[in-house]
Copies of this chain bind each other. A is one copy, B any other.
């Protein structure tokens, strides 16, 4: 296969989204599949890990500014600790990886590779919390977790091991814990909207789809271009169930012993999947400047006789941008022609390309090309830093607007079963329908279309609600009590 073929994306985003996604992930050097015998695992290559670091930097600063501190709990959880969660959730049956041997010895008790850490964090919180002065206690950790689900691998969307952060907090009151739950949901929403250029819908999961043991599971949902919803992050108000099961108790100001209210909240590298899926196209990866490892690539275009001047001009531009804190790459490779370079950097998702040839050099200008839509703009060399910063804003706005348009055009209403199934089947996206709240009604939709209730709006989120006054559940016809957002989901 020639370099050019190897470089190009051959699948179509519109017609074969799954294959296209896999190809972009591979050719943009984001990830490789795990070793033989380890299906479901991926190797995260530097270009994807840099995106994860950008997500980490964004969230970590905000977590710390709002009182959370990082910690590290062991990778393994004794089986007996997980069993204690059974007291909270009947039928809890974790699909985890089990360590049974250490070296040559069989262990007395099996150890689970953490699927999430509530059951090991809570007992320590119980040790550390004594008085109301110890609250709130806010911990976070960046780590990986393993969930042994035997589904088809989709890098960043579905993998047996994934990177994430998990926050765990304890509070004196329901109100404090609920505020915490919302603070984290707000931060996740901001990450998507301000950093990843993806609008999200916020709401809560239906009763039957909550985190095991949670009072309320809140979520931000992002709509992919293929009409499926991605659960972008979840923030759980756990009530006092973990506090009771693990003995997280404190003495209040009146010396009364009380049970702490806890929360947990997590965002995984699925955010990277949503990022790649939302913005990229048939030329490859598309990234907003906020996360792009290289924000600008400068491509000098020379003939033998103009080479020295053009290169010097290009170098000056790259240095000026770098000096202003722009992440810039100068592609001065001799062995590649400009067309090859354009394709390669488009594939890799660099938001802005600056082309400079003898004309630009003579005129003191540059040609700026926006990755998202190929728009080409002439600009003066003078004031280039501001021009580039403006172009960042413009390209970000283009990406956000396209995703916003996809979202706003794909929320439809349905009031009976035929309309619900028909609309979901034809268009995908979200279908908003009155719902009686019964899992059985969702189960019927799931069976027919593999769609589910991904979200129910918050009570105070008026514009997301249907008028339920006298409305009936679109599926069973009983009295409706909630507005359900149905969608297929990743």
Residues of A within 8 A of B (CB): 32, 34-38, 41-46, 49-50, 52-53, 69-78, 80-81, 95-103, 108-109, 111, 113, 120, 123-124, 127, 139, 143-144, 146, 148, 150, 160-161, 163
Contact = CB atoms under 8 A, between A and B. Distances in A.
A32 to B, nearest CB: 6
Given A38-B111, A100-B100, A103-B150, 8 more contacts: A37-B78, A37-B108, A49-B70, A49-B72, A50-B69, A74-B161, A75-B113, A95-B102
A96 B49 CA distance: 27
Nearest to A111: B38
Contact of A81 (B35, B69, B73): B35
Contacts of A100: 98-101
The 7 closest A-B pairs by CB, nearest first: A46-B69, A102-B148, A44-B72, A95-B103, A98-B101, A103-B148, A41-B74
B72 A123 contact: no
A139 B29 CA distance: 14
Q: State the copy count for this chain.
A: 2
Contacts of A96: 102-103
A37 B109 contact: yes
Contacts of A42: 74
A269 to B, nearest CB: 9
15 contacts: A32-B127, A36-B78, A37-B80, A41-B76, A43-B72, A45-B71, A46-B71, A46-B139, A50-B70, A53-B70, A75-B75, A75-B113, A75-B161, A97-B99, A102-B148
A7 to B, nearest CB: 14
A101 B111 contact: no
Contacts of A127: 32
Contacts of A81: 35
A71 B97 contact: no
Nearest to A76: B38
A60 to B, nearest CB: 9
Contacts of A160: 102
Contacts of A124: 32, 43
A74 B71 CA distance: 21
A140 B167 CA distance: 26
A71 B99 contact: no
Centre residue among A46, A78, A96, A139 by max chain B CB count within 10 A: A46
